[in-house]
Amino acid sequence: MSNLPYLRIGTAVIVNDEGLILIDKRRNKGTMANKWEFPGGKFEDGENAQECIVREIKEELGIDIRVGKHLMNVRHDYPHVSLTLMVYYAHILSGEPKTLECAEIRWVKPEQLSDFDFPDANYQIIEKIQAQKTLNNCYSPNT
Ligand SMILES: Nc1nc2c([nH]c(=O)n2[C@H]2C[C@H](O)[C@@H](COP(=O)(O)OP(=O)(O)OP(=O)(O)O)O2)c(=O)[nH]1
Ligand SMILES: [Mg+2]
């Protein structure tokens, strides 16, 4: 048992038509400073995962996305916070990603994800992405 704060985080693995994945580098101040991540953020009251992800991606990158298939949920306890990352594939509907709330943005191949410094909770997400044979259709919604 612990009394850590518990957060639900909506997280997007945005894939483009070339099969590249968008990652962003967090700012050099605040939680997990300078770590690379999949863009996203905290649920607001009354939101579901898809709504949270669409809103966060608009705020952080200035783009509109369609949320696709659910990849996984990851529960992780950090020393200061306990959280669940709710991870969905997504695809850009309109706009060019901008660094509105992050330090840097990159499009990378799935195999390149291992070269970046991600928070501890992300390693099983990266493993699962890299285990997929193809990312085709991953951004179509679950049916
Ligand atoms: N977005 C995102 N957050 C992650 C990932 N991995 C991981 O451990 N986290 C952690 C870092 C943070 O503690 C938390 C996400 O919160 P956040 O700081 O992005 O929240 P937010 O966008 O709502 O930002 P703010 O309004 O609090 O500034 O989840 C990831 O891949 N993406
Ligand atoms: Mg965020």
Task: Give the chain's domains with CATH numbers.
Answer: 15-131 (3.90.79.10)
Q: Of 108, 100, 76, 84, nearest to 27 (Cα)?
A: 100
The interface predicted TM-score (ipTM) is 0.95
Find the 51 Cα to ligand 2 centroid distance in Å.
Answer: 14
Q: Rounded to 5 degrees, what are φ and ψ at 45?
A: -55, 130
Residues of the chain with pLDDT under 50: none
pLDDT for 138: 83
Ligand 1 atom closest to Cα of 83?
A: 29
pLDDT for 17: 95
pLDDT for 133: 84
Find the 53 Cα to ligand 2 centroid distance in Å.
Answer: 10
- How do residues 38-52 score in pLDDT, each as one tens digit? 999 999 999 999 999
11 Cβ below 6 A of ligand 1: yes
Amino acid letter at 125?
I
Cβ atoms within 10 A of the Cβ of 72, count? 14
**The tokens 């709710």 sit on which residue?**
86
This prediction has a pTM of 0.95
pLDDT for 143: 53
